[in-house]
Amino acid sequence: MLVSLIQVMPVAADITVASLSFTDRTLGNGLRVITLEDHATPTAAIQVWYRVGSKDDPPSRSGFAHLFEHMMFKSTRRMPAETLDRLTEDIGGENNAFTADDVTAYHETVPANHLERLIWAEAERLSSLTVDEENFRTERDVVKEEFRQSVLAQPYGEFGEWTQKMSFAVHPYKRPTIGNIAELDAAKLADVRAFHKTYYRPDNAVLVVVGDFEPDALQGWVDKYFGPIAKPETPSPRVTVQEPARKGARTLRDTSPKIPLPALAMTYLGPAISSDEAPAFAVLEQALSGGESSRLYQSLIYEQELAQTADFKADLRADLGLPTFNLVLASGVDVAKARAALLVEIKKVCDAPLSREELSTAKNKLLAARLAERETCEGKATALAEAAALRGDPTLVNSDIAKLQSVTAEQVQDVARRCFTDENRLVLESLPAKSKAKK
């Protein structure tokens, strides 16, 4: 019922959203600490985001950032392995982590009276992680098995990896986050220790706590447990590689014995997530691919019956974005026909603004999602951490919704027109092993 209401209501341009009132300070060792009181429930969300992702993996050692996502749950000098699970799951809380191109993030939600021990645990695994041969080999095997299940065992898993690799000429975004078995096998313990020392440090991290706490007590715990961690003398290295602009449309083709039906991707180089164009890209993504009422679904799946799946992701990252269209074709459909139909849909969004109804539906779905996020301590913590770690400014959480509400149909058309050019297009086609593409 909520979705149908969102689709028919007018654009919520007049909704005023209360600002998130948070504190933001930096310890002497460089750790950024963002805290927000929320006494709606007796819980607390703790997140630590490290500014290290797959783009920072060493050359020929893809998967290191992902490997450390796993290793950070192992033992420390004062914690046996799996202690984080005991400190969270055993009291009705939760913990998890994720690795992306630009960041690795760790998060827990617990009853608020257990907050101090989680602050201690996060400081402990930052400062005293056991990086030994046993933990390294154990977690490397876990990552390799994850690669087998999520990439090798999936019909289109390797197509997704290929799309990522071929879409960047020089930027390390070309390295898939999950890694690969050969490069993980080639890694040595010394390599792993060097990576940990380089990136897992207080001045490369953002700590966010949202929940039912007493501010002075929380700041005291942060000072007590994180304050003594030393700041290294040399700064963490940063990726400075600049991806060159594309100079002409290209099409790459491959075959695979795994895929039952042809797959097609179109990628374009786009702006960074901090760009002023980001809100318009969010609306564009929703209009093109936000459910069964979206343009791609209605045209390519429902009306023309050319595809089984059709989606568009803006995929904006810290350095630059990779707006991407993905199709898995319907049975018996020629890839050339599907490619031409997709280009027609792309041309439409470049040639004319979204209709008022499309703009309203897209913006209200996005607004509903943002407001729902702010209903929980974890959602608020994620919004603050993302703004601080990826975009460098947590105050952006208090302007993002207004910027989204102010997006016009003409702005959406403008970002599409400037991004979706022939010169900026890369087409990737994957065909079942014995079929051939028509040129």
Note the pLDDT tens digit of each residue in 217-233.
999 999 999 999 999 99
- Is the predicted pLDDT of residue 436 greater than 60, yes or no? no
Are 183 and 258 in a shared domain? no
Give me the number of domains the chain comprises: 2
Residues 147, 128: contact at Cβ < 8 Å?
A: no
pLDDT of residue 17: 82
Where among 171, 192, 225 does a domain terminate?
Answer: 225
- Residue 103 belongs to some domain of the structure: yes
Average pLDDT, the chain: 93
Integer Cα distance of 367 and 410 in angstroms: 19
Q: DSSP strand E in 215-262: where?
A: 250-256
- Is the predicted pLDDT of residue 4 greater than 80, yes or no? no
Are 282 and 145 in a shared domain? no
Are 269 and 304 in a shared domain? yes
Note the pLDDT tens digit of each residue in 154-204.
999 999 999 999 999 999 999 989 988 999 999 889 988 899 999 999 999
Note the pLDDT tens digit of each residue in 281-290.
999 999 999 9
pLDDT of residue 239: 95
Are 218 and 268 in a shared domain? no
pLDDT of residue 299: 97
- Is the predicted pLDDT of residue 12 greater than 80, yes or no? no
pLDDT of residue 7: 41
Integer Cα distance of 376 and 338 in angstroms: 42
The DSSP annotation for 350-378 comes to HHSPPPHHHHHHHHHHHHHHHHHHTTSHH
pLDDT of residue 14: 60
Report the candidate in 236, 239, 237, 296 with the shortest Cα–Cα distance to residue 272: 239
Where among 225, 260, 284 does a domain terminate?
Answer: 225
- Is the predicted pLDDT of residue 141 greater than 60, yes or no? yes
Task: Of 15-19, 94-98, 266-270, 334-338, give the lowest mean pLDDT range.
Answer: 15-19
CATH number for the domain including 339?
3.30.830.10
pLDDT of residue 277: 97
Mean per-residue pLDDT for 40-68? Answer: 94
Are 154 and 257 in a shared domain? no
- Residue 163 belongs to some domain of the structure: yes
Supply angle C-alpha 210, 214, 215, rounded to 5.
75
- Which whole-number Å values give the CA distances from 82 to 73, 85, 89, 90, in the listed order? 6, 5, 11, 11
**Residues pairing with 427 in the sheet:** 251, 266
Integer Cα distance of 24 and 111 in angstroms: 23
- Is the predicted pLDDT of residue 5 greater than 50, yes or no? no
Q: Which of the 8 DSSP states describes residue 40?
A: S
Note the pLDDT tens digit of each residue in 62-106.
898 999 899 999 999 999 988 999 999 999 999 999 999 999 999
Structural domain containing residue 107: 21-225
- Residue 25 belongs to some domain of the structure: yes
Residues 370, 363: contact at Cβ < 8 Å?
A: no
Note the pLDDT tens digit of each residue in 362-415.
999 999 999 999 999 999 999 999 999 999 999 999 999 999 999 999 999 999
pLDDT of residue 61: 86
- Is the predicted pLDDT of residue 297 greater than 50, yes or no? yes
Percent above pLDDT 70 for the chain? 96
- Is the predicted pLDDT of residue 3 greater than 60, yes or no? no
Are 355 and 217 in a shared domain? no
Q: What is the pTM of this model?
A: 0.92
Listed in sequence order, the residues at least 6 apart from 394 whose beta carbon sits closer than 8 Å to its beta carbon are: 22, 24, 34, 384, 387, 388
Are 211 and 284 in a shared domain? no
pLDDT of residue 60: 85
